[in-house]
Amino acid sequence: MLNTTEDLPIIKHTDQKLCEVAEVFVAAKVRLDEIGRMYGGRLVTSQVARDEQSYSTDPFGFAYEFLPFFRTHRHGPDDSSPPRYKALVPTTLVMGESWSWRPATRTQEDIDNVVRITFEAFANSDTKSPHRDCAQYTFVKPLGVFLAYEGKNRVALFNHLGHPHIPAVVTETGYPDANRIRLFLLRDVCLAVLDNRHVQRVTAPYLVKGLLEAYGVSIEKKWPDEYPSLWRVLDEFDRLRHTPRYFGEQADLHDVTDVERAEEAWVPACLMDLDDLRMPEWKTYAKLAAIAVVAMVLANYTDRWPDLQKLLIAGVGTAYGLVLAPFLPVLRTKVKHLKERQRWDKRGAIRRALKERREQLESKMEGETSK
């Protein structure tokens, strides 16, 4: 057993501070799983992790839930063939999941058998086709954390036995550079911003704050003035929940800026389109229409009195004008002052036009850069 591993590299992170914080992050996941298995414990852990059904969270699900942008931006342009190798992995940095069994539920014979199979399967594996019982872990190298893909249950066992390393086939994956991320710890919400554009809610900010801070992410407590207003960003999250194929809570500040610009755009409108404008009831219009009809009929019998006839005709014109005036698009107003239905229609059309124009400009800039 020693001969199969003694020549293998032991993965060590060069940043000791980051390594220590990564261990705390992994340990927090273990504690959450332990609480979740207790009677009524899921009521507590569901306040942090939104899955109320499972008694434990798989490592990738945990990372997707709490690490901002891990799901959407962990792969870089050169990740088509990520590094893959055999190594000894620090046990305390591996995020596993005891979904099938735990050390306390196994006999000593079972424990010895699991350890034996772990090393034998590892020895009989290569990086291209690992044995089915060989541990396979994903190494989030920038953060120093390992996510168990195969061999989740044995992580708790190796920790229980005090083994410092687990032999595994390791696949590296990335994470956005720290200088691309800004974490905003605000009063009622925590948001992470990537490249001053992409925004994600952070479900449990104090769970990841230490890890991201040690990684070098900027931690801030004031929403920048150069960004769209905070309430508009939160409103965009609400809109995305009702969008087909919505995958993950990620908003685009460019889209939010387009909304602000669309709301301030001037468009033709009629009185009926304006919000917060109380128009007369339909009975009033019915009365005006009736007066116009009566005046028109009377005008046909007043040939002897030209002045009266002119007055009646003027009354007919005035009545019809009052009836039609609210429906004529003779006004100009900002989109934000329209009624909800008209506001959504106009705003959507303007947003699409702005987005198309922005994409054309970005495409043109990329073309010039490639030259």
Quick one: 78 exposed, middle or buried, by C-beta within 10 A (0-12, 13-18, 19+)? exposed
Which pLDDT tens digit goes with each residue over 5-42?
556 788 887 788 999 999 999 999 988 888 877 777 77
For the chain, the first-to-last Cα distance in angstroms comes to 56
Q: Domain for residue 108, yes or no?
A: yes
Residues 59/168, Cβ–Cβ less than 8 Å: no
Q: Which residue has the higher pLDDT, 7 or 329?
A: 329
Q: Domain for residue 182, yes or no?
A: no
Do both 286 and 145 map to the same domain? Answer: no
Which pLDDT tens digit goes with each residue over 253-308?
988 888 777 777 788 877 767 776 666 666 776 776 777 777 777 767 676 777 76
Q: Which residue has the higher pLDDT, 206 or 46?
A: 206
Do both 171 and 275 map to the same domain? Answer: no
pTM for this entry: 0.74
Who contacts 45 (Cβ-Cβ below 8 Å, separation ≥6)?
32, 35, 36
> Which of 61-65, 191-195, 265-269, 339-343 shows the lowest mean pLDDT across its residues?
339-343
The residue segments making up the domain with residue 134 are: 16-175
Domain count, the chain: 2
C-alpha to C-alpha distance for 27 and 11, rounded to whole angstroms? 19
Q: Domain for residue 209, yes or no?
A: no
pLDDT, residue 245, reads: 47
Q: What is the arithmetic mean of pLDDT over 85-98? A: 92
Q: Domain for residue 368, yes or no?
A: no
Do both 153 and 48 map to the same domain? Answer: yes
Q: Which residue has the higher pLDDT, 364 or 178?
A: 178
Q: Domain for residue 55, yes or no?
A: yes
> Pick from 140, 175, 210: which residue ends a domain?
175
Secondary element (H or E) of residue 267 = strand 266-269
Do both 166 and 31 map to the same domain? Answer: yes
Average pLDDT, the chain: 81
> Pick from 143, 175, 207: which residue ends a domain?
175
Q: Domain for residue 194, yes or no?
A: no
Do both 158 and 20 map to the same domain? Answer: yes
Say whether 175 sits in a helix, a strand or coil.
Answer: coil
